A and B are shown apart, each in its own frame.
Chain A
Amino acid sequence: MTALASGIERREKVNRPAVRVPAERLLEVAARLRDDPALAFDMLVDHAAIDWHAENRFELFYHLFSTAHGHALTLTAFVPRDAPVVPTVSRIWPVAEWQEREAYDLMGILYDEHPDLRRLFLEDDWQGFPLRKDYRDPDMLEFQK
């Protein structure tokens, strides 16, 4: 990882190895993570986003797993809340195509150069992104503990 060092830091408070990369370097780092035979993260286990509303940004996380070496890594990246655009990693891990569509659908993350960025679960004419913390739905009964 030393060769890639600039801008990459450890993501604290994750129960597995985790690094944070700048969103604009995501693609480059992801490609390296998959293709470097010493790393060989060939499976993108999971990808989703967290809405840090108070900090006005989203955090994307990518859980990676290497079937060759058995090691795991969590990759995270911050994107600003007002322009949540990141490059797609679906060309590196094909499954990301749908995981990213889910993140777009529910969280409103926009993936640049995504082959098929559509709503996944909700209807195409749905307004808003429900997993955002400031989402309000007139039909939703909110019940607080």
Chain B
Amino acid sequence: MALIIDTLPGLAEKIPGGQVLVTSLDWLLNWSRANSLWPLSFGTKCCAIEMLMATGASHQDLSRFGAEVARNTPRQADVMVIAGAIVKKMAPRMRMLYEQMAEPRWVMATGSCAISGGPFMYNSYHIVRGADEVVPVDVYVPGCPPRPEAFFWGLLTLQRMIRRGETVRAPGVRRKPVLSALPQGIAVQDIRAEIHAALEAENVVDVENAAAASPWHGKLRQWMATNLYKP
């Protein structure tokens, strides 16, 4: 579908009314993506029980968001929910899973372990302190583990980001809003304006470059070269 996203906008903008077409295409794109987030079932630890299982269970029911279609293969998944600690042995594999996912792809880090290494931040020789050292993370859901509702809040946050998200004019570049408040939700009123502005300016992330700049990108290449394609 590279044609629709890459070539069409350039052509469409030239014809009269093309702007409208591109804008409505943007809307359709982001609406469909936001409402159809199929998670990759990637759980390593306790958070997997809460994030991938308890949320999908009858009491919480992830399917209300259309996200119960947990795919086991990264090719068909849209959002990688990193639930649990990432250790050095897992990191290259996780990076690989991420690279196997088809664009557009998003990453949610849930729980302290995935955000920062959490309980294992200190004195552990094998932990990766934060999944964002390995893959670019879009939404962080804190908690140890977060409640299923907190995961839903994270999902809503991600949906909000996607809706605002990419345009067909500049694919691959996403704009993250700084605060996760929903229209009816709570807003943190007293955050300083300049921090807000600074973070927003900083958070225009070029996904491709950010991914390539990650130290694990190189490590994965190296790991794949040594371990993977053995005859």
Q: Do chains A and B touch in the complex (CB under 8 A)?
A: yes
- The chain A residues found within 8 Å of chain B, CB to CB, are 121-123, 130, 135, 137, 139-143
The 9 closest A-B pairs by CB, nearest first: A143-B122, A137-B125, A130-B125, A140-B125, A141-B122, A123-B89, A143-B123, A142-B123, A141-B121
Contact A139 B122 (CB under 8 A): no
Contact of A142 among B88, B89, B122, B129 (CB under 8 A): B122
Within 8 A of A (CB), among B74-99: 88-89
In the complex, what's the smallest C-beta–C-beta distance from B130 to chain A, in angstroms?
12
Q: How far is the CA of A45 from the CA of B155 in the complex (A)?
A: 45
Enumerate chain A residues within 8 angstroms of B122, measured Cβ to Cβ.
141-143
Enumerate chain A residues within 8 angstroms of B121, measured Cβ to Cβ.
141
Enumerate chain B residues within 8 angstroms of A137, measured Cβ to Cβ.
125
Contact B124 A140 (CB under 8 A): yes
Can you report 23 residue pairs joining A to B where beta carbons are below 8 Å apart? A121-B89, A121-B126, A122-B89, A122-B126, A123-B88, A123-B89, A130-B125, A130-B126, A135-B125, A137-B125, A139-B88, A139-B125, A140-B123, A140-B124, A140-B125, A141-B121, A141-B122, A141-B123, A141-B129, A142-B122, A142-B123, A143-B122, A143-B123
The secondary structure that dominates the B interface is loop
Enumerate chain B residues within 8 angstroms of A142, measured Cβ to Cβ.
122-123
Within 8 A of A (CB), among B110-128: 121-126
Q: How far is the CA of A143 from the CA of B89 in the complex (A)?
A: 23
In the complex, what's the smallest C-beta–C-beta distance from A124 to chain B, in angstroms?
9
Q: Which of B89, B122, B125, B126 has the most CB of A within 10 A?
A: B125
Chain B residue nearest to A137 (CB atoms) is B125
Q: How far is the CA of A140 from the CA of B122 in the complex (A)?
A: 7
Q: How far is the CA of A136 from the CA of B124 in the complex (A)?
A: 11
Chain A residue nearest to B223 (CB atoms) is A123
In the complex, what's the smallest C-beta–C-beta distance from A120 to chain B, in angstroms?
11
Q: How far is the CA of A121 from the CA of B59 in the complex (A)?
A: 36
In the complex, what's the smallest C-beta–C-beta distance from A27 to chain B, in angstroms?
32
In the complex, what's the smallest C-beta–C-beta distance from B43 to chain A, in angstroms?
19
Q: How far is the CA of A135 from the CA of B123 in the complex (A)?
A: 11
Enumerate chain B residues within 8 angstroms of A139, measured Cβ to Cβ.
88, 125
Chain A residue nearest to B121 (CB atoms) is A141
Q: How far is the CA of A123 from the CA of B121 in the complex (A)?
A: 20
Q: How far is the CA of A139 from the CA of B124 in the complex (A)?
A: 9
Enumerate chain A residues within 8 angstroms of B125, measured Cβ to Cβ.
130, 135, 137, 139-140
Enumerate chain A residues within 8 angstroms of B129, measured Cβ to Cβ.
141
In the complex, what's the smallest C-beta–C-beta distance from A134 to chain B, in angstroms?
13
Enumerate chain B residues within 8 angstroms of A143, measured Cβ to Cβ.
122-123
In the complex, what's the smallest C-beta–C-beta distance from B227 to chain A, in angstroms?
9
Enumerate chain B residues within 8 angstroms of A130, measured Cβ to Cβ.
125-126
In the complex, what's the smallest C-beta–C-beta distance from B162 to chain A, in angstroms?
34
Q: How far is the CA of A143 from the CA of B119 in the complex (A)?
A: 12
In the complex, what's the smallest C-beta–C-beta distance from A128 to chain B, in angstroms?
9
